[in-house]
């Protein structure tokens, strides 16, 4: 029977401690990087390529947190403008060009006020829906929920190997040197579980896991 990996916080903390012992002090704050290597799968096949968004319990600062609002009323737009990188009024939606739509797709969060959703669907649905980017409908009364949605985007990080030519691994920044080791471990576990869930054979496709600082030695996590 093929051995399947097991991973828990203890193994991660042990690797992080070893990483710290082996690292040299630098003149800048280094990031902590996670590498997950795969086995028994062909990453050149489209259905074996990894592309998943992860909401870390502890923000790495790498998520752009860019949020866009399609607003119906100027009153609402003015009230929440500090939360959004971009606000598009409903009467401007029909005038958007392909270059504008490309910029819209760069946002992590898309929200729409009330009936502005109907206009978004009519003019942008064929561009946004296939990308999973249709906005979430909201009302001015959902102030706290809007803040939480936008805030969570700042801890959202994309893990993918689609940009490479079929590389059998993924790499992602899980924190910084200043993070507590427990917080780093929680982010690492979150990343590994998210990747595992989209692998064709789940845990059986994970060959090895490494952690390292930007300028440091890669430390293997015992699994």
| 190 located within any domain | yes
| 204 located within any domain | yes
| 1 located within any domain | no
Residues 169-215: tens digit of each pLDDT: 999 999 999 999 999 999 999 999 999 999 999 999 999 999 999 99
54 and 110 belong to one structural domain: no
Per the structure, the count of domains in the chain is: 2
| 206 located within any domain | yes
pTM beyond 0.85: no
| 72 located within any domain | yes
Q: Number of helices (H) and strands (E) in the chain: give both, helices first.
A: 6, 10
| 4 located within any domain | no
| 171 located within any domain | yes
Query: What CATH number is attached to the domain comprising 77?
Result: 3.40.50.790
71 and 137 belong to one structural domain: yes
**Do 52 and 193 contact (CB within 8 A), yes or no?**
no
CA angle 131, 136, 141 (to 5 degrees): 165
Out of 130, 153, 176, a domain closes at: 153
Q: Burial letters for 22-34: b for 16+ Cβ neighbours within 10 Å, e otherwise?
A: ebeeeeeebbbbb
* % of the chain residues with pLDDT over 70: 93
72 and 56 belong to one structural domain: no
131 and 85 belong to one structural domain: yes
Residue ranges making up the domain that contains 169:
9-62+157-220
**pLDDT score at 121:** 94
Given the DSSP bridges, would you call strands 136-138 and 31-38 parallel, antiparallel or unpaired? unpaired
For the segment 107-124, the average pLDDT, to the nearest whole number, is 91
**Host H or E run for residue 12:** helix 9-22
**Host H or E run for residue 118:** helix 116-128
43 and 73 belong to one structural domain: no
The answer for residues whose C-beta is within 8 angstroms of residue 84's C-beta and 6 or more apart is 67, 68, 69, 150
122 and 105 belong to one structural domain: yes
Residues 116-128: tens digit of each pLDDT: 999 999 999 999 9
**pLDDT score at 44:** 85
């Amino acid at each position: 029977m093929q051995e399947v990996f097991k991973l828990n916080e203890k193994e991660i903390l042990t690797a992080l401690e070893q990483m710290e012992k082996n690292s040299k002090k630098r003149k800048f704050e280094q990031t902590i990087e996670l590498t997950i290597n795969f086995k028994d799968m062909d990453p050149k096949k489209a259905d074996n390529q990894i592309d998943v968004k992860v909401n870390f319990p502890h923000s790495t600062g790498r998520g752009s947190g860019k949020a866009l609002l399609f607003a119906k009323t100027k009153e609402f737009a003015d009230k929440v403008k500090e939360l959004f990188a971009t606000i598009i009024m409903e009467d401007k939606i029909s005038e958007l060009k392909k270059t504008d739509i490309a910029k819209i797709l760069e946002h992590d969060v898309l929200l729409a006020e009330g009936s502005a959703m109907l206009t978004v669907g009519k003019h942008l649905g064929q561009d946004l829906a296939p990308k999973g980017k249709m906005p979430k409908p909201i009302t001015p009364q959902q102030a706290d929920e809007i803040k939480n949605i936008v805030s969570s985007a700042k801890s959202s990080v994309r893990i993918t190997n689609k940009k490479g030519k079929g590389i059998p691994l993924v790499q992602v920044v899980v924190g910084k040197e200043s993070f507590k080791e427990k917080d780093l471990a929680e982010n690492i576990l979150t990343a590994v579980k998210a990747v595992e869930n989209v692998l064709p054979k789940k845990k059986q496709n994970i060959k090895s896991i490494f952690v390292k600082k930007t300028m440091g030695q890669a430390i293997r996590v015992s699994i």
